[in-house]
Amino acid sequence: MKSTKHSGLFLTVHATNLIKVTSIVLLFMILVFSISGLLTSLKPQYRLMSDSVNTATNQINGKMLYQLMAWENHHFLTIEDNLTASPKLTNVIFKLSSNINLNDPRSLLGRELPGFYQFDGQIVVAGQGSNYTNMPMESAPPIEIMLAEREASLQNIEGIEEGTGNVTPSQPPNTTTGDKKVVHLYFTHNRESYLPYLQGVTDPNLAYHSQLNVTKIGDQLKAGLEARGIGTSIDKSDVMGQVKMAGAYSKSGELVRTAMASNREIQYLIDIHRDARRKDKTTPIVNGQPYAQLVFVIGGKNPNYEKNLKLATDLHNLLEKKYKGLSYGVMKNQGAGQNGVYNQNLSENALLIEFGGVDNTMEELNRSAEALADVFSEYFWQAEKVNQDVEESTDKQ
């Protein structure tokens, strides 16, 4: 009898422990899946991420995965002979474990040199002459310059006001957007200027001015687009005069949201900037004339990345056909110390475009603005035609 009682007690105790353990495991799994679901549902710019893990996983491309499968199933080798020339396993493990790419010294130097992260962009679409030794860069003005009340006197400005914004189209546009302003231009770093017009200034880091700056390019681009029937609005608010450099994108984002709320017709957003490189790097000769180079910059941390990338790529390809060498290409920025969003989360058709460098002239910049207006209008009206055809087809159905 005692043996039977002890046996029953023993089974009861173990059954209770089993239920507790099972319940704890189930609750733990539910908690893990809930947290995972919450983290993955966040917008890209708010997600927690490790730059090291992100960089390591970026090293694994389709060809590498194909090679891994070939190691298990040699039949894949009969399909793709080039796999034998793929990186060795030791090289792959070295890259994944150290995040150092021997073909790109930035992966090592970036950890040792302060501020080197500014050169850590990725060339997604390369233009003529673009490579990792000639990367676009954005220099922030020294804090004393931002706080100073005085600024350089202007020079060489004869004819600038008359030339900016004046466009003489070869013929009136066949179609227009009417009263609709479908393109919105704005300037996060509105005071970015150009050395040829700043008297006594030779330091690229000091190329900033409250009056003569990148907003002049906006005037030219606006005139070029409207001459081709595309209604365009422009916001030349002095963002840099209101906030510190680090808060500029937040402030310009507020202005863009306000513009979009007051005008539901806006389809495209273009943020105009100036590169910090020197003239020999930013002045291609196109069709026999000097132009200010264009660089498309896309933030990799926004939910519209793929669509914004496609827009920038399409415009780059159009420029390559009509103005070969004008576009540096398409840059992707998302690393440490970089904004990675650039307000491109606000639209599927948002761009950040660098116009020339610190040494370019308004004549060169205006040519580039005209060229962009030319190819953009071609892209815009083709897209409008496609959308109209789709709507007509849907109506017939």
Could you tell me if 196 and 359 are in contact, meaning their C-beta atoms sit under 8 angstroms apart? yes
The rounded percent of the chain whose pLDDT value lies above 90 is: 42
The pLDDT score that the predictor gives to residue 339 is: 75
How is residue 23 written in tokens? 């319940």
**Which tens digit of pLDDT belongs to each residue from 112-139?**
554 554 555 677 777 777 666 666 776 6
Residue 171's CB is within 10 A of a number of other CB atoms, namely 5
Distance of CA 2 to the CA centre of its chain: 78
Q: In the predicted model, is pLDDT for residue 264 greater than 70? A: yes
Mean pLDDT for the stretch of residues 269-296: 94
The pLDDT score that the predictor gives to residue 1 is: 46
Q: In the predicted model, is pLDDT for residue 93 greater than 90? A: no
> How far apart are the C-alpha atoms of 313 and 332, rounded to whole Å?
12
**Which tens digit of pLDDT belongs to each residue from 227-240?**
999 999 999 999 99
Q: Mean pLDDT in the chain?
A: 79
> How far apart are the C-alpha atoms of 102 and 107, rounded to whole Å?
8
Strands (E), 149-290: 183-186, 232-235, 268-273, 285-286, 289-290
Q: What domains lie within the chain, and their CATH numbers?
A: 51-114 (no CATH), 143-389 (3.40.630.40)
pLDDT band at 266 (very low <50, low <70, confident <90, very high): very high
Between 69 and 181, whose confidence is greater? 181
Q: In the predicted model, is pLDDT for residue 25 greater than 80? A: yes
Q: In the predicted model, is pLDDT for residue 28 greater than 80? A: yes
Mean pLDDT for the stretch of residues 238-256: 89
Angle, vertex CA 173, rays to CA 168 and CA 177, nearest 5 = 115
Q: In the predicted model, is pLDDT for residue 281 greater than 50? A: yes
The pLDDT score that the predictor gives to residue 62 is: 61
Q: In the predicted model, is pLDDT for residue 309 greater than 80? A: yes
The pLDDT score that the predictor gives to residue 226 is: 94
The pLDDT score that the predictor gives to residue 109 is: 58
Is the pTM of the predicted complex or chain greater than 0.75?
A: no
The pLDDT score that the predictor gives to residue 182 is: 96
Between 352 and 73, whose confidence is greater? 352
Average the pLDDT over each of 61-65, 170-174, 267-271, 302-306 and give the range with the smallest value.
61-65
Residue 22's CB is within 10 A of a number of other CB atoms, namely 10
Could you tell me if 297 and 333 are in contact, meaning their C-beta atoms sit under 8 angstroms apart? yes
